[in-house]
Amino acid sequence: MDWESVIGLEIHAQLATRSKIFSGSATAYGAPPNAQASLIDLAYPGVLPVLNAEAVRMAVKFGLAINAHITRRSIFARKNYFYPDLPKGYQISQYELPIVSGGAVDIVLEDGSVKRIDVTRAHLEEDAGKSLHEGLAGLTGVDLNRAGTPLIEIVSEPAMRSAREAVAYLKKIHTLVRYLQICDGNMQEGSFRCDANVSVRRRGSDKLGTRAEIKNLNSFRFVEKAINYEIARQVELLEGGGQVVQETRLYDADRGETRSMRSKEEANDYRYFPDPDLLPVEIDQLYIDSVCSTLPELPDQKAQRLRHDYGLSAYDAGVLTSSAELADYYETVLERAADFPGIAISPKLAANTVIGELAGLLNRDGVEIGDSRVAPAALARLLARIADDTISGKLAKDVLEAMWEQGKEPDAIIEERGWRQITDESAIEAAIDAVMAANPAQLAQYRSGKDKLFGFFVGQTMKATQGKANPARLNELLKKKLSG
Amino acid sequence: MSLNRRDIENIARLARLALTEQEIPVYVEGLSRIMGLVGELDRADTRQVEPMAHPLPGQRQRLRADAITETDQHALYQRNAPQVEAGLYLVPRVIE
Amino acid sequence: MSALHDKGVAELSRALQAREVSSVELTQALLERVTRHQGDLNAFISITAEAALAEAARADAQLRSRDAGPLTGVPMAHKDIFCTRGQKTTCGSRMLADFISPYDATVVERLRAAGIVMLGKTNMDEFAMGSSNETSYFGPVRNPWDAARVPGGSSGGSAAAVAARLTPAATATDTGGSIRQPAALCGVTGLKPTYGRVSRFGMIAFASSLDQAGVITRSAEDAALLLGAMAGFDQRDSTSVELPVPDYSAALAAPLKGLRIGVLKEFFDTGLDAQIEQHIRAALDLLRAQGALVKDVSLPNLPLSVPTYYVVAPAECSSNLARFDGVRYGHRCEKPRDLLDLYQRSRAEGFGAEVKRRIMTGTYVLSAGYYDAFYLKAQRVRQLISNDFERAFREVDVVIGPTTPTTAFELGAKTADPVTMYLNDIYTIGANLAGLPAISLPCGLAQGLPTAMQIIGPHFAEERLLNVAHRYQLETDWHRRAPPGYA
pLDDT tens per residue, range A21-36? 999 999 999 999 999 9
Query: Residue C399: what are its φ and ψ, rounded to 5°?
Result: -115, 135
Reference C454, options C76, C183, C58; nearest CA is C183
> Which of A39, A41, A47, A262 is the best mutation test for C, with the most CBs of C within 10 A?
A47
CA distance linking residue A31 with residue A24, whole number of Å = 15
pLDDT of residue A418: 81
B27 assigned to some structural domain: yes
Smallest CA–CA distance from C370 into chain A, residue: A271
Inter-chain CB proximity B96 and A271 less than 8 Å = no
Residue C202 gets the label, from left (phi > 0), alpha (psi -120 to 50) or beta, of left
Other Cβ atoms within 10 Å of C253 Cβ, number? 11
User: How close is the nearest chain C Cα to the Cα of B89, in Å?
Assistant: 7
CB contact under 8 A, A273 and C371: yes
Binary contact (A50, C101; C-beta < 8 A): no
Residue B33 lies in a domain: yes
| A37–chain C Cβ distance below 8 A for any pair | no
Residue C242: its chain B contacts at CB < 8 A?
A: 62
Which residues on A lie below 8 Å from B73 (Cβ)?
38
Exposed/middle/buried for residue A135 (C-beta within 10 Å: 0-12, 13-18, 19+) = exposed
Is C322 in contact with A89 (Cβ distance < 8 A)?
A: yes
Task: Give chain C positions within 8 Å (CB) of A140.
Answer: 339
User: Where does C271-376 have alpha helices with state H?
Assistant: 274-289, 305-320, 339-350, 353-366
Assess if residue B50 is contained within a domain: no
Rounded Cα distance, A99 and A116, in Å: 22
Q: Are strands A212-217 and A248-252 parallel, antiparallel or unpaired?
A: parallel
Sign (positive/negative) of CA torsion A352, A355, A361, A364? Answer: negative
Whether residue B67 and residue A18 make contact (CB cut-off 8 A), yes or no, is: yes
In a domain, B71, yes or no: no
Give the span between the Cα atoms of C103 and C87, in whole angstroms.
9
Nearest to C357 among B30, B39, B91 (CB): B30
* Phi and psi torsions of A51, nearest 5°: -80, 135
CB A44 within 8 A of CB A34: no
- For an interface test with A, the pick among B10, B79, B94 (most A C-beta atoms closer than 10 Å) comes out as B94
Active-site pick, C7, C79, C121, C414: C79
Of B19, B40, B80, the CB nearest to C304: B40
Write out pLDDT tens, residues C219-263.
Answer: 999 999 999 999 999 999 999 999 999 999 999 999 999 999 999
- C104 burial (CB, 10 Å; 0-12 / 13-18 / 19+) is buried
Segment 38-57 of chain C within 8 Å of chain A by CB: none
Average pLDDT over residues B43-63: 95
**C346: annotated active-site residue:** no
Provide the sign of the torsion angle of the four alpha carbons A232, A238, A241, A244, taken in this order.
positive
Question: For the residues of C53-122, what is the DSSP string, one character each?
Answer: HHHHHHHHHHHHTT---TTTT-EEEEETTB--TTSB--TTSGGGTT-B-SS--HHHHHHHHTT-EEEEEE
Which segments of A240-374 does DSSP mark as H helices, in order? 285-292, 299-310, 314-320, 324-337, 347-353, 359-365
Contact B43 C100 (CB under 8 A): no
d(CA A118, CA C355): 46
Which ranges of A37-104 would DSSP assign to H, the alpha helix?
53-65
For chain B, say whether A131 makes contact (Cβ under 8 Å). Answer: yes
CB–CB of A461/A469 below 8 Å? yes
Q: Give CA–CA dist C181/C452, Å, rounded.
A: 9
Q: Considering only CB atoms, which chain C residues are within 8 Å of B80?
A: 99-100, 102, 328-330
Q: Which of B15, B55, B76 sits opposite C363 (nearest CB)?
A: B15
Dist. CA A213–CA A210, nearest whole Å:
10
Chain C CB contacts of B7 under 8 Å are 364
User: A38 — contact with chain B (CB < 8 Å)?
Assistant: yes
Nearest CA in chain C to A45: C204
Residue B23 lies in a domain: yes
Pairing of strands A139-143, C260-264: unpaired
Q: Are C47 and C120 in contact (CB under 8 A)?
A: yes
Facing residue for A50 by CB, picked from C235, C318, C339: C235
Long-range contacts of A127-132 (CB under 8 A, 24+ apart): A127/A12, A127/A14, A127/A151, A128/A83, A128/A85, A128/A86, A128/A91, A129/A37, A129/A84, A129/A85, A129/A86, A129/A87, A130/A85, A131/A84, A131/A85, A131/B94, A131/B96, A132/B88
Domain count, chain B: 1
**Alpha helix segments (H runs only) across C86-219:** 106-113, 156-163, 180-186
Report pTM.
0.92
Contact flag A50-C371 (C-beta cutoff 8 Å): no
- Residue A24 CB contacts under 8 Å (≥ 6 apart), including other chains: A38, B64, B67, B68, B69, B70
DSSP state letter for C479: G
Please name the residue of chain B whose CA is at the shortest distance from the CA of residue A150: B66
Residue A265: predicted pLDDT: 47
**What is the Cα Rg of chain A in Å?**
29
Task: Answer yes or no: do C418 and B62 touch at CB < 8 A.
Answer: no
From chain B, pick out residues whose CB is under 8 angstroms from the CB of C377: 41-42, 44, 46
Give all chains having 3 or more CB-to-CB distances under 8 Å with chain C. Answer: A, B
Q: Does A82 touch chain C (CB under 8 A)?
A: yes
- For chain B, the first-to-last Cα distance in angstroms comes to 39
Distance CA A440, CA A446 (A): 10
Q: Rounded to a whole number, what is the distance in Å from the CA of A421 to chain B's nearest CA? A: 58
Query: Using CB atoms, which residue from A42, A273, A277 is nearest to C239?
Result: A277
For C347, nearest residue in chain B (alpha carbons):
B17
Q: What is the spatial distance between Cα C435 and Cα C446, in angstroms, rounded to a whole number? A: 31
Query: Residue A213 and residue A190: Cα distance in Å, rounded?
Result: 18
- Whether B51 is in a domain gets the answer no
Q: For residue B56, list chain C residues with Cβ-Cβ distance below 8 A.
A: 194-196, 241, 435, 459
Q: Given an 8 Å threshold on Cβ–Cβ distance, is A143 in contact with B67? A: no
Going by C-alpha positions, the residue among C181, C59, C204 that lies closest to residue C118 is: C59
Q: Which residues of A touch C209 (CB under 8 A)?
A: 276
Residues of chain C with confidence (pLDDT) below 70: 1
Q: What does DSSP assign to residue B79? A: G
Chains contacting chain B through 3 or more C-beta pairs under 8 A: A, C
The alpha carbon of C206 is separated from its chain's Cα centroid by a whole number of angstroms, namely: 13
pLDDT in tens, C142-189: 999 999 999 999 999 999 999 999 999 999 999 999 999 999 999 999
Q: C469, C212 in Cβ contact below 8 A?
A: no
Give CA torsion, residues C410, C415, C420, C425, to 10 deg: 70
CB A118 within 8 A of CB A157: yes
- DSSP string of A415-483? HHHT---B--HHHHHHHHHHHHHH-HHHHHHHHTT-GGGHHHHHHHHHHHTTT-B-HHHHHHHHHHHHT
In 10 A of CB A153, how many CB atoms? 18
The active-site residue out of C136, C154, C219, C346 is: C154
Q: Do A261 and B96 touch (CB under 8 A)?
A: yes
The CA R_g of chain B, rounded to the nearest whole Å, is: 23
The chain B residue lying nearest A260, using CA atoms, is: B96
The pLDDT value given to residue A166: 97
* % residues pLDDT > 70 (chain C): 100
Known catalytic membership, residue C295: no
Interface contact A269, partner C, CB < 8 A: yes
Q: Does A367 touch chain B (CB under 8 A)?
A: no
- All domains of chain C, ordered by start, with CATH? 4-258 (3.90.1300.10), 303-379 (no CATH)
SS3 B85: strand
Identify whether A19 is preceded by a cis peptide bond (ω within 30 of 0). Answer: no
In this prediction the ipTM stands at: 0.96
Show residues of chain C in contact with A43, CB under 8 Å. 323, 328
Shortest distance, CA A42 to any CA of chain C (angstroms): 7
Instruction: Mark whether C93 is an active-site residue.
Output: no
Q: Which of C101, C178, C318, C346 is catalytic?
A: C178
| C interface test, pick of A21, A48, A80 with most C CB neighbours within 10 Å | A48
Chain A closest CA to C367's CA: distance in Å? 5
Secondary element (H or E) of residue A410: helix A410-417
> What is the residue range of B11's domain?
5-37
Query: Phi and psi (nearest 5°) for A143?
Result: -115, 120
Hey, how many other C-beta atoms are within 10 angstroms of the C-beta on C319?
A: 26
Of C102, C325, C366, nearest to A89 by CB-CB distance is C325
pLDDT mean values, one per 10 residues, chain A (484 residues):
93 98 96 98 98 98 98 97 97 96 92 92 98 88 98 97 96 96 94 96 91 90 95 94 91 89 68 97 97 95 93 90 93 91 90 93 91 94 89 84 92 87 84 90 88 88 84 86 78
